[in-house]
Structure 1
């Protein structure tokens, strides 16, 4: 009977020691949270393993996340997956559809979602800045160049082809004016003024011929002159000469005739009047967006998603490096209190830790059982 008591006692003692040892070892992973000192002497195994290695654990977790969990390769595969692309496209279509059928104007939506006050004025200001910088850069880079060098070939060709037409138009308008009663009256006044300026000679000519008769003689001759092919050719040559002179002028020669403020203001007003964006800002979205629904939903959004995801996939490694994800994870882990970290680990592995404790008790019991036979054998 004593043998059975001895075996049972040794088994119980071994199980208790094994269970308590494993339980204590588990608790020593986290506790004590801070080191314990007796005077200047630090009590061994204080603080616990995890509190003692808290900073190192944070760094290693950050490195593990970057090297093995959130990698550029893994994220790239996710971004390029058909499921993710389709989900992103579908979500964007839904969100954009809400905006396109909204009763609110573009200005209201921008002020509401972006927080920008008076976007129209902001856009005009930015447009003016861009135009002004472009104008100044144009002046600085082209002062020594001639207009012939600056003007596009298409414009120069267009002007050259328009010169004969322009000359013909001028002569035709001149003929029409001279043939009209108003033109004849103006010609009569001019002749009268000419004769007056000539003094006595003019008075004699006027007295002998009479002003009206002189007009009747001069008018047909002038019309004949305007209809003559030689006159047309002469005018074409004159226009070509003037056009060539203008082309040879340096840009700095006409710079003094340009008022920067007026030029910039004119260009900005032209853009504001002809670019529909400024008009759309003050209109309800549904009023003007209907024409673009299908294009935006079926072409712009899918293409935009593809381009964005391709761009992200290409530069993911650089983005993650600049994002300093490893440092972020490390900093977040370092901000965890040891109590919170213990709670987090135990909430995940509590059952496994209990099993380790029970296993320790089991192993201790087995060792106690074996030791009891050793004691009996020796005894």
Structure 2
């Protein structure tokens, strides 16, 4: 009977020693948080393992995450995975629908994203763009002739229009001098002519009698205008003048008028045609409605596919610039020791308890063996 009590006692003592020893060893992983001293002598095993090695732990965790967990290859695979892209497309489509149906004006939307004075900035950009393009063209063409700068097709087309222009001028001339206004113009011109000649003019008027001088001149002017020779003369004059214009250099052309004023008028014309005030005053839904279905069904999936590929091919560079290992190390170093302990226990609490129980079990087995050996030799 005494042997069995001894055996039970030794089993219990061994189990308690094993369990307590493992429990203390586990606790020493975290505690104490700071070194303990007796006088100037630091107690061994203080602070605990994790507090003492927190810097190394943080560095190793950073390397593990960067080299084995959050690698460029794993992120690239995730971004390229069809299921991930499908989820992103679905998310963007859901987020886009309320935006596309928004009653807010374009100016209000831009104001929300801190783009202030968008209309004025757009006008300034258009004016600057026109200025830049004009200066560039002016510098390029300034030493060229009109004929050198115009396309051959334009020149041929203009020259082909000369006979039509000639016909138009003559036709308008005939219409004018056949009208009452034209007749009055001839009368004024003849009156001015006769008044300059004094008595000779009066004598000429007496010779004509009741017939006025404009009655004689008007038919002759119309006859001259309707003459085939006049048409040929007009064609020749216009061709000659056109030839002279083609030989003008743009530097000379620009001296004949204020190109700056023309530029300002051109910018004003473009801005009136663009009507940016009306554009920025329209609602987002009004602007996008004609394209809403296409944006949802085509544009967003295409952007996700191409955007995912674009990002995936640049993941290594992005990861290099992000320095993931340093981010993890710095973050872990900021954790309190209490938080680190809680994190580790949260993950491995059950396993640590099993280690304590295993220590007790092994201690009990060792106590049993010791009791058996003692019993055999007593």
Tell me if both proteins adopt one fold, taking TM over 0.5 as the criterion: yes
Q: Secondary structure at the match of 1:259?
A: helix
1:117 match: 116
Aligned 8 A contact 2:145 2:247 in 1 = no
Is 1:364 equivalent to 2:363 in the alignment? Answer: yes
Counterpart Cα distance in 1 of 2:252 and 2:88? 53
Structure 2 CA distance for partners of 1:153 and 1:101, relative to 1, 3 Å: farther
Q: Take 1:361 and 1:255, find their aligned partners in 2: how far apart are those partners? A: 108
Find 2:247's aligned residue among 226, 245, 248: 245
Aligned-pair CA distance for 1:366: 1.7
Deviation at 1:350, TM superposition (A): 0.7
**Which residue number in structure 1 is paired with residue 73 of structure 2?**
73
2:236 corresponds to: 234
- Rounded to whole Å, the distance in 2 between the matches of 1:198 and 1:328 is 105
Q: 1:312 to 1:165 in 2, by over 3 A?
A: farther
Q: Per the alignment, in what secondary structure is the counterpart of residue 297 of structure 1?
A: helix
What is the CA deviation profile of residues 68-111 of structure 1, one whole-angstrom value per residue up to 9, with x for unaligned ones? 32333222232233323333333333333323333332222333
Q: CA deviation at 1:255?
A: 10
CA contact (8 A) 1:15 1:368 kept: yes
Q: Could you say which residue in structure 2 is the equivalent of 1:279? A: 278
Change (3 A) 1:238 1:265: closer
Q: Deviation per CA, 1:247-271, whole angstroms, max 9, x where unpaired?
A: x3348955983228x725742x444
Alpha-carbon shift at residue 355 of structure 1 (Å): 0.5
The 1:368–1:150 alpha-carbon spacing in structure 2 relative to 1, beyond 3 Å, is farther
Residue in structure 1 matched with residue 303 of structure 2 by the alignment: 304
Q: Which residue of 2 aligns with 1:54?
A: 54
Shift in Å at residue 291 of structure 1? 2.4
User: How many angstroms apart in 2 are the aligned matches of 1:252 and 1:368?
Assistant: 115
How far apart are residue 358 of structure 1 and its match? 0.8
Equivalence for 2:314 = 315
Residues 58 and 220 of structure 1: CA distance in aligned 2, closer, same or farther (over 3 Å): same
Change (3 A) 1:355 1:202: farther
Q: Please give the per-residue CA displacement for 1:231-289, whole angstroms capped at 9, x wherever unaligned.
A: 2421341342143124x3348955983228x725742x444333476523212334454
Match of 1:102 in 2: 102
Matches within 5 A, 1:1-40: 1-40=1-40
Q: Is the 8 A contact 1:100 1:289 kept in 2?
A: yes
Structure 1 stretch displaced more, 273-282 or 356-365: 273-282
Residue 247 of structure 2 aligns to a residue whose secondary structure is: helix
Whether the 8 Å contact between 2:146 and 2:247 is mirrored in structure 1 is no
**Post-superposition CA distance 1:155-192 (Å, at most 9, x none):** 55554554444343333323322232212322333344
How many angstroms apart in 2 are the aligned matches of 1:38 and 1:159?
A: 108
SS, match of residue 216 in structure 1: helix
Q: Separation in 1 of the partners of 2:168 and 2:270?
A: 32
Scaled by the length of structure 2, the TM-score of the pair is 0.83
Secondary structure of the equivalent of 1:281? Answer: helix
In structure 2, the partner of 1:89 is 89
Offset of residue 123 of structure 1 = 2.4
| 1:190 paired residue number | 189
Aligned residues: CA RMSD: 3.4
Unpaired stretches in structure 1, ≥5 consecutive residues = none
How many residues in Structure 1 have an aligned counterpart in Structure 2? 375
For the residues of structure 2 that align with 1:225 and 1:334, how far apart are their CA atoms? 104
Unaligned regions of 5+ residues in structure 2, if any? none
Aligned partners of 1:79 and 1:85 also within 8 Å: yes
Q: Does 1:170 align with 2:169?
A: yes
Q: Distance in 1 between matches of 2:217 and 2:350?
A: 122
Q: Which moved more, 1:157-166 or 1:120-129?
A: 157-166
SS of equivalent to 1:8: helix
TM-score (norm 1): 0.83
- Match status 1:222 vs 2:221: no
Shift of 1:342: 0.8
